[in-house]
Amino acid sequence: MRTKLLVGNWKMNKTRAEALDFAKASIELLKFAQSKQIQIGVTPTYLSLDVVKHTNPNLIVGAQNVNAKESGAYTGEISIPMLKELGIEWSLVGHSERRTYYAETNHTCNEKVLALLANKMTPLYCVGETLGQFEAGLTKPIVEAQIREGLKGVSQEDARHLVIAYEPVWSIGTGKNASKEIAEDVCHFIRTILKDLFGGVSEKIQILYGGSVKPTNIKEYMAMPNIDGALVGGASLAVDSFAQLIENIG
């Protein structure tokens, strides 16, 4: 039985003061989630990671991105040791906004996934097709390549620490969420690839759906056997909305 997981991706939102307000409120949110045996977390901007982690140390707090290199001449980048120093144990990898605007590829994602796992951190690896690829019927080959190339070289032992998010690009921030049937079909497909790669460990890996998830539609996804939670952007920003997501997740 996989634990349900709800992660709020704040993207480039919230100042440190705003993040602090949410972090204080998240102490009650976490109690509520724990009472329902649900894991919750957020991915603030780098500047707010410490304030959120310090205010609520038991909350999952992840970065939105990380550089695979330990240090060096990479202006503007943040490394794994810098995150670990703040007590951060998770990072998103390959969010579609990073793939689209910052030219991230399956190969660069793979370097990040391997570096995070080598440092005993949890990569929340995001995959998903664009609208054009969806309309051309290419969802599965695209997602398969993202999974196989992005997770290349991951050992069966380390695979236990992976979390995957299926986020069709056409549904992120658009209000056009994928139907629960489409989401389940792709999440099931992802699990079959994970089984091919990692055997029985695949049954332990949490697979989230993301893309215009709201308090009003989260329940339908959670009823599907291969969807173990949600990665939520817009609807994760306000405390009330986050509380409703927890309420309705199961």
Mutual angle of helices 239-249 and 16-35, in 10-degree steps:
20
Burial of 244 (0-12, 13-18, 19+ CB in 10 A): middle
**Catalytic annotation, pick one of 89, 95, 104, 184:** 95
Tokens for 212, please give them.
Answer: 């215009």
Tokens for 176, please give them.
Answer: 């056009």
CB of 167 to ligand PEP, least distance (A): 5
Looking up tokens 């329940």 gives 219
Tokens for 160, please give them.
Answer: 């236990």
In the complex, residue closest to ligand PEP by CB? 233
- The residue (of 79 and 91) whose beta carbon lies closer to ligand PEP is 91
Q: Is 158 in the site for ligand PEP (CB under 6 A)?
A: no
CB of 208 to ligand PEP, least distance (A): 9
Query: Is residue 95 annotated as part of the catalytic site, yes or no?
Result: yes
Select from 26-34, 64-72, 165-173, 195-203 the region that touches ligand PEP (CB under 6 A): 165-173
Q: Is 183 in the site for ligand PEP (CB under 6 A)?
A: no
Q: What distance, in Å, lies between the first and last C-alpha atoms of the chain?
A: 14
Question: In 3-state terms, what secondary structure has residue 46?
Answer: helix
Specify the pairing of strand 60-63 against strand 38-43: parallel
Select from 100-108, 112-120, 156-164, 210-218 the region that touches ligand PEP (CB under 6 A): 210-218
Query: Is residue 129 annotated as part of the catalytic site, yes or no?
Result: no
Q: Residues 116, 205, 231, 249: which binds ligand PEP (CB under 6 A)?
A: 231
Select from 70-78, 81-89, 150-158, 232-240 the region that touches ligand PEP (CB under 6 A): 232-240
